[in-house]
Amino acid sequence: MAGGVGSRFWPLSKTEKPKQFIDILGIGKTFLQLTYERLNKICPTENFYIVTNKAYKNIVLDQLPMLSEDQVLLEPKRRNTAPCIEFANYKISKRNQKATIIVCPSDHLILKEEEFIRVIREGITFVEKENALLTLGIKPSRPDTGYGYIQIDKKESNNSEIDKVKTFTEKPNIELAKFFYESGEFFWNSGIFIWTLESIDEAFKKHLPEISQLFKNRNSFSSEEEFIDKTYSVCPNVSIDYGIMEKAENVYVYKADFGWSDLGTWGSLYENTNKDEDQNAIIGENILLYESKNCIINNPLNKIIVAQGLEGYIIVDSGESLLICKKDEEQRIRQFVNDIQIKKGDSYI
Q: Is 273 found in the same domain as 180?
A: no
Q: Is 128 found in the same domain as 245?
A: yes
- Tally of domains in the chain: 2
Q: Is 290 found in the same domain as 224?
A: no
Closest by CA position to 318, among listed 306, 334, 302, 330: 302
Look at residues 261, 292, 315 and tell me which one is the last residue of a structural domain. 261
Q: Is 248 found in the same domain as 274?
A: no
Q: Is 204 found in the same domain as 90?
A: yes
Q: Is 284 found in the same domain as 233?
A: no
Closest by CA position to 85, among listed 206, 226, 194: 194
Q: Which residues pair with 325 in a beta bridge?
A: 314
Q: Is 138 found in the same domain as 37?
A: yes
pLDDT band with cut points at 50, 70 and 90 for residue 262 = confident
pLDDT band with cut points at 50, 70 and 90 for residue 160 = confident
Within a domain: 282: yes
pLDDT band with cut points at 50, 70 and 90 for residue 158 = low
Would the pLDDT of 157 be above 70? no
Within a domain: 52: no
Q: Is 332 found in the same domain as 304?
A: yes
Q: Is 272 found in the same domain as 186?
A: no
SS3 114: helix
Contact indicator for 127, 198 with CB cutoff of 8 Å: no
Q: Determine the Cα–Cα distance for residues 59 and 28; give it in Å rounded to an integer.
A: 16
Would the pLDDT of 156 be above 80? no
Q: Is 215 found in the same domain as 128?
A: yes
| Residue 199 pLDDT | 98
Which CATH number characterizes residue 36's domain?
3.90.550.10
- Quick: pLDDT tens for 290-318: 999 999 999 988 899 999 999 999 999 99
Q: Is 201 found in the same domain as 275?
A: no
Look at residues 202, 231, 261 and tell me which one is the last residue of a structural domain. 261
Contact indicator for 57, 3 with CB cutoff of 8 Å: no
- The amino acid sitting at 72 is V
Within a domain: 118: yes
Cis preceding-peptide flag for 44 (omega within 30 of 0)? no
Neighbours of 242 (CB within 10 A): 16
- Quick: pLDDT tens for 163-205: 999 999 988 889 999 999 998 899 999 999 999 999 999 999 9
CA 100 to chain centroid: 20
H helices within the chain, ranges in order? 31-39, 57-63, 81-93, 113-129, 174-183, 197-207, 209-214, 224-234, 240, 266-271, 333-344
Question: Is 44 exposed, middle or buried, given 0-12, 13-18 or 19+ CB atoms closer than 10 A?
Answer: exposed
Contact indicator for 133, 195 with CB cutoff of 8 Å: yes
Q: Is 319 found in the same domain as 216?
A: no
SS (H, E, C) 86-100: HHHHHHHHCCCCCCE
Within a domain: 299: yes
Closest by CA position to 296, among listed 1, 5, 4, 12: 12
Contact indicator for 330, 8 with CB cutoff of 8 Å: yes
Pairing of strands 305-308, 287-290: parallel
Q: Determine the Cα–Cα distance for residues 207 and 115; give it in Å rounded to an integer.
A: 33
Residue 290 is part of which domain span?
267-348
| Residue 343 pLDDT | 96
